[in-house]
A and B are shown apart, each in its own frame.
Chain A
Amino acid sequence: MIENRPGLNAMAHLVLILGVVVVGLPLWVAFVASTHTATDFMSGTVPMWPGPHLVENYSLMLERGVSTSGTPPVARMMLNSLIMALLIACGKIAISITSAFAIVYFRFPLRGLAFWCIFVTLMLPVEVRIVPTFQVVAGLGLLNSYAGLSVPLIASATATFLFRQVFLTMPDELVEAARIDGAGPMKFFRDILLPLSRTNMAALFVILFIYGWNQYLWPLLVTTDSQYYTIVAGIKRMADAVDGLPQWHLVMATAVLAMLPPVAVVIGMQRLFVKGLVETEK
């Protein structure tokens, strides 16, 4: 749409700038807070410009953490979050692409039932089945482990449906050509389907990585050993200072650090992400 109306243009910019301010201001406040000392924030006036304690605060958090809140150094928590997010993203992609392959390309008995079972999991996210899931994970002895953190979040239907849709758009002739070329089902999967779904996998990876990174309730439940704390759950624990004022400058430094990896993933994979969502040519 191309319109040459200056008023409309200014209006559009105004709306967009407002949006940027709404999103950006809290981020700015968090950043500013993380560069001051604890007392600056309790003084009554909130500083709007960065203070001199940036390096000090961040290195303190990365290396030692806050002993009073019982959290390990932020570097450790970020590593835990990274491992969990990667396990969830990769696990979900692996499971859903194979199940979509089975559903689309094989005619097996009870195929319809299998499809509906996967479909039903859409209605049962972790939050809904959290008590029984906790029971199962505890029974398997997976509390305080990376497996316990990620496995219950891996099984889900959304990604399966995405891949099913991708596979359904693959021309039948491609399957037939591969059959004539002597490619068995697994070979077809590896040589043709996987490379052709590459951009879709990348797009899904971005979404799932952020989904995994932002997990809050589940890690809070299954980790009691501080060695397995994830960063999002860790921030909550830090803010809950029992015997004293929350050290907001340190909490904010942690929050800023926690934001960086998802931002890096989005920026790094932006091109593939967009391609994977809009590309239709096969």
Chain B
Amino acid sequence: MASITLENVGKVYPGGTRAVGDVSIDIADGELIVLVGPSGCGKSTLLRMVAGLESITEGEVRIGDRIVNRVEPADRDIAMVFQNYALYPHMSVRQNLAYGLKNRGTPRSEIKRRVDEAAEILQIGPFLDRKPRALSGGQRQRVAMGRAIVREPAAFLFDEPLSNLDAKLRVAMRLEIKQLQKRLRTTSLYVTHDQLEAMTLADRLVVLNGGRVEQIGTALEVYRRPASVFVAGFIGSPAMNLLDARALPHLPGSAHAGTIGIRPEDLTVTPDGPIEFSVTAVEELGAQRLVHGLANGEAMTITQPSDATLSDNMRLSFDRGNLHLFNRETGRRID
């Protein structure tokens, strides 16, 4: 168990391309931090730098009190779960779990105890003597986690571990990872591009864009007070409506903001609302429906209960407190 500290960490590839810049994160002992962002935002690179699979060209990474910039991955006391599981295909599940321990010279009885314990936690006991190719995707995923657990490391690193699973299994495993992490209380760094997965799992989220940190905070903080236009558009589903303030001059705050954001669920239909809204399309989701339309020429989406009556032209109102204003030049939040 240990905290992980990233201090002004950056990565510049030999060709001069910058993948990550000036990232500082303090991860407390036992915390589950999720790095989230679109593809190419540097989240995987950052994780691999913590793992030691990529060199750190700027700043420093500390695990516990130790600076690990130049420490080999095996000596960093971390365990990693890969997207494609990276199980050794020629070894049985038991050998897969034991391999890392064996390399460290762990006594045989201790290996057996830990493997049995991990198998118990993950319910993979019946498969211990099978080869990975005889397992389903979900089972392989468990084995990959088992390989991390048996190491009893200071930190778990997850690199999009659920992206190869089907949607239903993904939701189930998500919950399981969360419960497992709470039970083991092992500091964890988790990378995903799925904002829903990020919000449900994270103690705190780190939203990355273009190799830089946009915002760090709990799921609710990030959802309620997005720090930038990028975060506002990325977190939350359906995405927040981001409107050009110039197109809607009558909205409060539009005089000094560049972009006005309002979440679809914060817009209500009222006969005398200030926004004129003409419906262009409707998407049914079951419990609710997404209504797409135009307001002063700006595309906008609202959510409505599926039994609400719709007309082609509606007026919308909102609560002032639910408006998010962003600076025109920097895209940062204005309070």
Instruction: Name the segment of A5-13, A176-184, A226-234, A262-270 touching the other chain.
Output: A176-184
B331 contacts partner chain A, Cβ-Cβ < 8 Å = no
Our pick among A177, A191, A195, A281 for the contact of B82 (Cβ within 8 Å) is: A177
Interface string of A241-282 (1 = CB under 8 A from B): 000000000000000000000000000000000000000011
Within the complex, the shortest CB–CB distance from B224 to chain A, in Å, comes to 37
Q: Which of B77-115 contact A (CB under 8 A)?
A: 78-80, 82-90, 99-100, 103-104
- Evaluate whether A180 and B73 lie within 8 angstroms (CB atoms) in the complex, with A171-B84, A173-B82, A191-B99 already known: yes
Cα A198 to Cα B91 with chains together (Å): 13
Per the bound structure, the CA–CA distance linking A206 and B236 in Å amounts to: 60
- Chain A, 149-187, CB within 8 A of any chain B CB: 171, 173-174, 176-183, 187
Q: Which residues from 92 to 121 on chain A have a C-beta closer than 8 Å to any C-beta of chain B?
A: none
Q: Chain A residues near B74: list those with CB within 8 A.
A: 179-183
Q: Would you call B78 and A183 a contact (CB within 8 A)?
A: no
Chain A residues with CB under 8 A of B90: 192, 195-196, 198
Q: Which has the most chain A C-beta neighbours within 10 Å: B52, B79, B82? A: B82
> Complex Cα distance A179/B52, Å?
9
Q: How far is the CB of A176 from chain B (nearest CB, A)?
A: 5
B89–A173 CB distance below 8 A? no
Nearest opposing residue in chain A for B78, CB measure? A180
- Contact indicator B103/A187 (Cβ below 8 Å): yes
Inter-chain contact A174/B86, CB cutoff 8 Å: yes
State whether B88 touches A192 (Cβ < 8 A): yes
The docked-state distance in angstroms from the alpha carbon of A178 to that of B103 is 10
Decide yes or no whether B66 CB sits under 8 A from chain A.
no
Given contacts A196-B89, A281-B133, A282-B89, contact A181 B99 (CB under 8 A): yes
CB of B51 closer than 8 Å to a CB of A: yes
Closest to A282 in B: B89
* A272 smallest CB distance to B (angstroms): 14
The A184-231 residues at the B interface (CB cut-off 8 A) are 187, 191-192, 195-196, 198
Give the residues in chain A near B89, CB-CB below 8 Å: 196, 281-282
Tally of B interface residues using CB under 8 Å = 25
Q: Are A182 and B53 in contact (CB under 8 A)?
A: no
- B157 to chain A: closest residue by CB: A180
Nearest CB in chain B to that of A183: its residue? B103
In the bound complex, how far is the Cα of B89 from the Cα of A195, in angstroms? Answer: 9
Q: A195 to nearest B CB, angstroms?
A: 4
A76 to chain B, nearest CB (A): 40
Knowing A176-B80, A179-B73, A180-B79 touch, does A171 contact B86 (C-beta < 8 A)?
Answer: yes
Q: Which residues of B contact A171 (CB under 8 A)?
A: 84, 86
What residues on A are CB-neighbors of B79 within 8 Å?
180
Q: Report chain A residues within 8 Å CB of B80.
A: 176-177, 180
Residues of A within 8 A of B87 (CB): 177
Contact A182 B86 (CB under 8 A): no
Find chain B residues with CB under 8 A from A281 CB: 89, 133
Residue from B52, B84, B86, B87 having most chain A Cβ neighbours under 10 A:
B86
Cβ 8 A contact of A176, one of B75, B82, B88, B104: B82
Q: Once the chains are docked, how many angstroms separate the CA of A171 from the CA of B83?
A: 12
Q: Which residues of B contact A181 (CB under 8 A)?
A: 74, 99-100, 103, 147
For residue A100, give the distance in angstroms from its CB to the closest CB of chain B.
18
CB <8 Å contact, B78 and A174? no
CB distance from B302 to the nearest CB of A (A): 43
Contacts of A180 in B (CB 8 A): 51-53, 73-74, 78-80, 100
Inter-chain contacts of A183 with B (CB < 8 A): 74, 99, 103
Contact with B along A46-71 (1 / 0, CB 8 A): 00000000000000000000000000
Minimum Cβ distance to chain B for residue A169 (Å): 12
Question: Which of A179, A191, A192 makes the CB contact (< 8 A) with B53?
Answer: A179
Residues in B with CB closer than 8 Å to A192 are 88, 90
Question: In the complex, which residues of chain A have a beta carbon less than 8 angstroms from the beta carbon of B86?
Answer: 171, 173-174, 176-177
User: B100: nearest residue on chain A (CB-CB)?
Assistant: A181
**Alpha-carbon separation in the docked complex, A173 to B161 (Å):** 13
For the complex formed, measure the closest distance between the CB of B52 and the CB atoms of chain A, giving whole angstroms. Answer: 8
| CB < 8 Å neighbour of A174 from B52, B72, B75, B88 | B88
Q: A198 contacts which chain B residues (CB < 8 A)? A: 90
Determine how close the nearest CB of chain B comes to the CB of A201; give it in whole angstroms.
Answer: 13
CA distance A4 to B73 in the complex (A): 60
**In whole Å, how far is A152's beta carbon from the nearest beta carbon of chain B?**
35
Closest A residue to B90 by beta carbon equals A195
B100 to chain A, nearest CB (A): 4
B53 and A176 within 8 A (CB): yes
Name A182's contact: one of B85, B88, B100 (CB within 8 Å).
B100
A174 to B88 CA separation, bound complex (whole angstroms): 7
A-side contacts of B78, CB under 8 Å: 180
Q: Give chain B residues whose Cβ lies under 8 Å from the Cβ of A179.
A: 52-53, 72-74
Given A180-B78, A182-B100, residue A173 in contact with residue B88 (CB < 8 A): no
Q: Which residues of A contact B (CB under 8 A)?
A: 171, 173-174, 176-183, 187, 191-192, 195-196, 198, 281-282
CB<8 Å pairs between A and B, sample of 10: A173-B84, A173-B85, A173-B86, A180-B52, A180-B74, A182-B74, A182-B103, A191-B88, A192-B88, A195-B90
Nearest first, the 5 closest Cβ-Cβ pairs linking A and B are A181-B100, A173-B86, A182-B74, A182-B103, A177-B86
Contact residues of B with A, CB < 8 Å?
51-53, 72-75, 78-80, 82-90, 99-100, 103-104, 133, 147
Known: A176-B80, A282-B89; 10 extra A-B contacts, CB below 8 A, are A173-B86, A177-B86, A178-B88, A181-B74, A181-B99, A182-B74, A182-B100, A182-B104, A191-B99, A281-B133
